Amino acid sequence: MLGVLRSMLTTLSTTMRRPVTRQYPESHRPIPERERAFPLLLWDHGVDEPYCTGCQACERACPCKCMTVTMKDNPRQAEGTSKRRKIVDTFWIDYGRCMRCNICVEVCNFDAIAMNNTWTGIELSAYDRHDLVMDLDELLALSRAGGIVPWAEYVGEENQKLPPRAVQAARTLAGRGPA
C-alpha cells in the first residue's frame, strides 16, 4: 500500500504549506493593470461632459448586443462651451450580457469608453438581473469622480488609433482605486 502512503504524505506536505485563500472583502487581490472588468464611460473633465457623442459605433460592434445608445444635439455647443455637436443622450449597458471583449473600446472613435480596472466601480452582485443594467449616470460615475485608469493607455501603439488628446485626458485621471 505504498501508493496510499504516498498520497497521505502528499496531503501532509500541502498541509504544511501556507493557505492560498484570500479573505475577499477584507483583502483584495492586486488587479493587473490590463484588467478589463466592465466597460465604463469617461468624463471629459476639460469641458465637464462625457466624451461620448452617442455615435453608436460600440453598439454596432458589440458581439452580444448589450448596449443601447442614443444621441442628441449638444446644447452646450450652441452655448459655445463645447465643441461636440452631438452628445450622448442615454446609454445602457447590460452587465449581465456583456462579455468584456474590449471591442467597444477598440472601435470607439472618441476614446469615450474604457474598461474598468479597479475594484471600485459598479456593484456587480445584485438580487435581480435587471439591476445589472447600467444607465448613463452609473457608467459615468467612476470616471467623473476621477477613479479610473482606462485600459486604452496600455493598448499597443499599433492598435490604438486614439486622438492624443484623449490619451492625455485619460492619464490625468490616473487615480487608483484601492488595490
Partner 1 sequence: MMPVLGYWFGIAWLDAILRLAVIAGVMTVVVIFLTYAERKVIARVQQRLGPTRTGPAGLLQGVADALKLVLKEDLRPTTADRWVFELAPFMVFVPVFLTFVAVPFTRDLGVRFLSLGLFYIVAVSSLNIVGFIMAGWGSDNKYALLGGVRAAAQMISYEVPLVLTVLGVAMVASSLDIRVITERQDVVPYIVWQPLAFVVFIIAGLAEMNRTPFDIPVAESEVVGGPTVEYSGIRWSFFQLAEYSSLFVLSALGADLFLGGYIWPFGSNPPGWLQLILILVKTSFMILMIFWVRATFPRLRIDQLMSYCWKVLIPVTVAQLFFNGLVLVYRWPDILLLVFSGALLVGATAATAVAVRRAARRPRDAQAVRDRRLQYARGA
Partner 2 sequence: MVADFDTIDININVGPQHPSTHGVFRMVLTVDGELVRDLDAVVGYLHRGAEKLLENQDYRQGIGIQDRTEYLAQFPAEQSYVMAAEKLGGFVVPERAEYVRVICVELNRIASHFMFMGAYGTDVGVFGTSFIYGFRERERVYRFFEELTGERMMYSYFRVGGLAWEVMDGFEEKARALLQELKRGINDINGLLTRNEIFIARTRHVGEISAERAIEYGLSGPVLRSTGVRWDVRKDEPYSVYDRFDFDVPVGEFGDCYDRYMVRLEEMRQAVRIVEQALDQMPKSGPIMPEKMPRMLRLPAGEVYVPVESARGEYGVYLVSRGGNHPWRCRVKSPCFTNLQALREMTVGEYVADSVVILGSIDLVLSEVDR
Q: Which residues bind partner 2 (CB under 8 A)?
A: 1-4, 6-7, 9-11, 13-14, 20, 29, 32-36, 61-64, 99-103, 115, 117, 151, 154-156, 158-159
The answer for residues whose C-beta is within 8 angstroms of residue 117's C-beta and 6 or more apart is: 31, 32, 33, 34, 35, 36, 37, 148, 149, 151
Shortest approach of partner 2 to residue 117 CB, angstroms?
A: 8
Which one, of 133, 114, 125, 129, lies nearest residue 66 by Cα? 133
Cell of 95: 452587465
Shortest approach of partner 2 to residue 47 CB, angstroms?
A: 28
Q: Which region holds residue 80: left if phi is over 0, alpha if psi is between -120 and 50, else beta?
A: left
Residue type, 131: D
Q: Which does 61 bind (CB under 5 to 8 A by kind): partner 2, partner 1, none?
A: partner 2
CB atoms within 10 A of CB 47: 13
Q: Which residue, 22 or 130, has its beta carbon nearer to partner 1?
A: 22
Which one, of 146, 141, 140, lies nearest residue 88 by Cα? 140
Q: Which does 71 bind (CB under 5 to 8 A by kind): partner 1, partner 2, none?
A: none
Q: Which residue, 27 or 83, has its beta carbon nearer to partner 2?
A: 27
Q: Which does 83 bind (CB under 5 to 8 A by kind): partner 2, partner 1, none?
A: none
Please report, as ranges, the residues that interact with partner 1 according to CB under 8 A. Answer: 1-4, 7-8, 10-12, 14-15, 17-21, 23
